[in-house]
Chain A
Amino acid sequence: MPPAPSGRVSDYAGLLSPAERARLEARLAEGERATGAQVVIAIFSSLEGESLEDFSIRLAERWRIGRRGLDDGVIVLVFVRERRLRLEVGYGLEAVIPDAVAGRIVREVIAPRFREGRWAAGLEAAAWALYERIAAAGRAGPPGRPRSGPPPGPGAGAGLSLVGLLVVLLLVALATWSGAAGVRRARRRRWAYVAGPTGWTVPVGPAWGAGWGWPGGAGGGDGGFAGAGGAFGGGGASGEW
């Protein structure tokens, strides 16, 4: 499972020429500028025995393509040896690109071109089809969030944890200030705070190391690209060529 990419086209199989790659990158960057939604392409040489859907959702959870809260990301996954591919669609685009549409893009847009070995053409046509739909939905109205719950992970309940933090800080300040000078230094080190999915946690026992997170915004990375925290729920479609 590769780490989050710094570009929109990750060709781990060496399927595309540098020029094709650059053109695809430019096409995808343009689409993102126009709509805000992130579409990225990942080409692997082999699934290595893993399940396509399982690999795809785990990659989506790791890369977090699309904007946090809007969850408007799409990943096009290609597995060369198995001749299989999948569009993984973020929660926020499930209404814009329902599974049936994703399936049609796979079967009618990508697969015919892939069968002729026209990899770049297939991917470019897919990017075009995806961004066309996203742009059309954007014109028709603001993007809806069909999902009922907030996205999993950090960010949820931030207000609550802030209040909790303040209370704890206040109490700790009170305790330290009250004159136990001898233990102050040692305690200050011990009472470091770790931001984690559970909010602010006093690191007692196994709570240590709960801290993790990811950048909240796009930008950064040498390609000027990063996933922006979008969530996926298994939407999209798989196919072969």
Chain B
Amino acid sequence: MGQALMGRRAIVAVVGLGLLVLVGAWAVSVANALVRLEQDVHEAWAQVQNVYQRRADLIPNLVETVRGFAAHERAVLEEVTRARAAATGVQLGPDALADPRAVERFLQAQRELSSALGRLLVVVERYPELRSSQNFLALQTQLEGTENRIAVERRRYNEAVRAYNTRLRVLPGAVVARVLGFQPKAFFEATPDAATPPRVKF
């Protein structure tokens, strides 16, 4: 009789321990999944920065090419140069992705560069010689391609954030996420200029 009680206690203890271990294993797997999804977000973010940098790198050449044909369009050229400097000045590390205001500052700077570029391309329309120069045509293709890449990488970033944020918020994994201090990441909001990237068309 005493032995039977002992045996039952042992079983209860082992089952309890087993459950504890299972909960621990589950928490580890949730944490692992979050780490991996966060890594995806960071990688997508690195790609977004790459493509914005790629656009910034094209601009000095573009400005020089336009200046060669339209030197007196100083105002718009300076504006593009200034917007480029401002945009490259706003850097955003992966840790800042949880701060919607920091992300918005970055996007705002890029948006201002987009609209400065848009105005420059309107000016270019007045110079047929410039528009048909080989140098400008090549730059135009590259700019078009870069805008397309920006749209692609922004969408992928948003998809990565969506996957991560969803995993972060669904119960019961959200408890683990809260305890371990995982923060939701900010989306790139679809602004009118993001939904339809500026078409470099003439």
Contacts and interface: CB of A to CB of B under 8 A. Distances in A.
A174 B11 CA distance: 14
Contact of B21 (A156, A171, A235): A171
A235 B152 CA distance: 10
A241 B57 CA distance: 31
A202 B29 contact: yes
A205 B172 contact: yes
A148 interface: yes
Q: Is the interface of A mostly helix, strand, loop or mixed?
A: mixed
Given A172-B22, A200-B29, A152 B141 contact: no
Q: How many of chain A's residues touch chain B, expressed as a range?
A: 35 or more
B36 A167 contact: no
Contact of A100 (B35, B39, B142): B142
Nearest to B31: A164
A9 B170 CA distance: 44
B14 A198 contact: no
B71 interface: no
Given A174-B21, A204-B26, A156 B153 contact: no
Contacts of B50: 147-148
Contact of A204 (B18, B28, B36, B172): B172
Nearest to A181: B11
Interface string B1-31: 0000000000100110111011011101100
Which of A98, A202, A234 is the most central at the interface, judged by chain B CB atoms within 10 Å of its CB? A234
Contacts of A148: 46-47, 50
B28 A152 contact: no
Interface string A199-211: 1111011110000
B18 A180 contact: yes
A121 to B, nearest CB: 24
B39 A156 contact: yes
Which of A98, A100, A148 is the most central at the interface, judged by chain B CB atoms within 10 Å of its CB? A100
B118 interface: no
Interface residues of B, number: 45
A157 B51 CA distance: 24
A198 to B, nearest CB: 4
A148 B43 CA distance: 9
Interface string A229-241: 0001111111000
Interface in A13-69: 53, 57
A99 interface: yes
B149 interface: yes
Given A100-B138, A167-B28, A233 B172 contact: no
B111 to A, nearest CB: 19
A141 to B, nearest CB: 22
B29 A205 contact: no
Nearest to A180: B15
Contacts of A150: 43
A152 B172 contact: no
A5 interface: no
B30 to A, nearest CB: 8
A178 B36 contact: no
A238 B197 CA distance: 15
A161 B36 contact: yes
A103 B141 contact: yes
Contact of A234 (B11, B15, B152, B172): B152
B162 interface: no
A152 B145 contact: no
A167 B24 CA distance: 11
Contacts of B22: 171-172, 175
Task: For the complex of A and B, list the 9 residue pairs with the smallest distance between their C-beta atoms, beginning with the closest.
Answer: A99-B145, A234-B152, A175-B18, A171-B25, A234-B149, A149-B43, A198-B33, A234-B148, A103-B141
